[in-house]
Amino acid sequence: MTPTRKLIAKIGSVGTALALGTAGLAIFLIIWTLASARLGNAVLLPSPLSVFETYGELISDGSLAGDVRASLVRVIAGFLMAASVAVPLALILAYSRILRGLVMPLIALIRPIPPIAWIPLAILWMGLGDPPSYFITSVAAFFPIFLNAFAGGTSLQQEHVNAARSLGAGPGALLVKVMLPSALPMIVTGSRIGLGQAWMAVVTAELIAAQSGLGYMIQVSRLSLETSRVLVGMTVIGLLGALMIGTLSIIERRVIVPWNYPR
């Protein structure tokens, strides 16, 4: 196929996808509008129009941006804190049998505790405000990152180590040029999952323990029966979550582990 034909074909397939997606969304909005008109109860089901209007309100008075920023900061900070502990710990445990024996049972016991169950302790230890929410997002991100990094560490092939050593690699080069890259695909997978978990946890944490952010905004809106705002909060959470994970995926494929995704 000539390059022009290829371009047209590509535009065609992207165009079709867009058209279908838009049509689906439009149908959904129509059904929603009819349902809310039928119900006639703005607290139970506001119309899409009122939700859009609320979007406008919250964007123009800057409060949406402020809440988005607050939630994002909590997620990213918590995620980074978790990763900076989980990755080294996982790799150390992958290579040390004794430490593994000591630490893994603890991790197996703590892991099933959902982040939301940590909230009472977090508030007791750190008071109200931001610190407990950082703690919660860290806890949420920690376990997926740790477990995947550990799997990445144990997946190190002896032959790669042997090959590196017979090519003159010392312990430093072994760690940085062999062990770390070998574990990297799984570390990134764990990070992607951890980021998603942290995002879900931040909303939960904010419902209870924060005074800003999207989860907080949903809770306060609920108390004043502002269901439109609740829906704005929910949709923004969904959109941002998808955006973050999507971005991380792209970075994963292009920058971090390109060898796993040859083009």
Partner 1 sequence: MLHVVEGRQQPDPTESQDVTPRLRVEGVTVSFDGRQQAAVDDVSLSIAPGEFVALLGPSGCGKSTLLNVFAGFRAPSSGKAFLDGQPLTGPSAKCGVVFQKHSLFPWMTVLENVAFGPRRLGLQDPRGIARELLDTVGLSDVANAWPSSLSGGMQQRVGIARALATRPPVLLMDEPFGALDAQTRALMQEELLSIWDKLRPTVVFVTHDIEEAIFLADRVVVMQALPGRIAREFQIPFDRPRSPEVMDEPAFIEHRREIADIIRVEARKSFL
Partner 2 sequence: MPLSLRGVARTLATGLIAAVAIHGTALAENAKIRIGYPSGMNGQVPVVLDKAGIAAKHHLAAEFTGFQYGPPMMEGLASGQLDAVVTSFLPPFNLSAKLPGSVKFVATLGQSSHSILVPKDSTAKSLADLKGRKIGLSFNSESHLDLIVSIKELGLDDKSEFQLVNLQPNELPAALEKGLVDAALIRQPQTLRLVESLGAREIQKWPFRFTSIVRTEYLTANPEAVKNYVEALKDAVLFIATNPDQAATWFAESQRLDPSVVKKLSGENPLFAATKREDIKIEVDDAFKKLIAERLEAATKYGLIKGTIDSSVLTQ
In this structure, the number of other CB atoms found within 10 A of the CB of residue 19 comes to 10
121 binds partner 2 (CB under 8 A): no
226 binds partner 2 (CB under 8 A): yes
Stretch that binds partner 2, among 8-16, 146-154, 217-225, 231-239 (CB under 8 A): 217-225
Q: How far is the CB of 256 from partner 1 (least distance, A)?
A: 10
Distance CA 73, CA 31 (A): 36
**SS3 state of residue 127:** coil
Distance CA 44, CA 42 (A): 6
Distance CA 51, CA 71 (A): 21
With residues binned 3-state (H G I as helix, E B as strand, rest as coil), the percentages for the chain, rounded to 5, are 85, 0, 15
> Which of 40, 259 has the CB closer to partner 1?
259
Q: What is the DSSP letter of 8?
A: H
CA–centroid distance for 107 within its chain: 21
Q: How far is the CB of 130 from partner 2 (least distance, A)?
A: 12
116 binds partner 2 (CB under 8 A): no
Question: What residues make contact with partner 1 under the rule CB under 8 A?
Answer: 157, 159-160, 162-170, 173, 177-178, 181-182, 184, 257-260, 262
Q: How far is the CB of 252 from partner 1 (least distance, A)?
A: 13
128 binds partner 2 (CB under 8 A): yes
Q: How far is the CB of 91 from partner 1 (least distance, A)?
A: 15
Q: Which of partner 1, partner 2, none sits in contact with 157, Cβ below 5 to 8 A by type? A: partner 1
> Which of 87, 231 has the CB closer to partner 1?
87
Among 98, 106, 109, 124, binds partner 2 (CB under 8 A): 124
> Which of 152, 213 has the CB closer to partner 1?
152
Using a 10 angstrom Cβ sphere, with 0-12 exposed, 13-18 middle and 19 or more buried, the burial of residue 193 is middle
For residues 136 and 119, the answer to whether their CB atoms sit within 8 Å is: yes
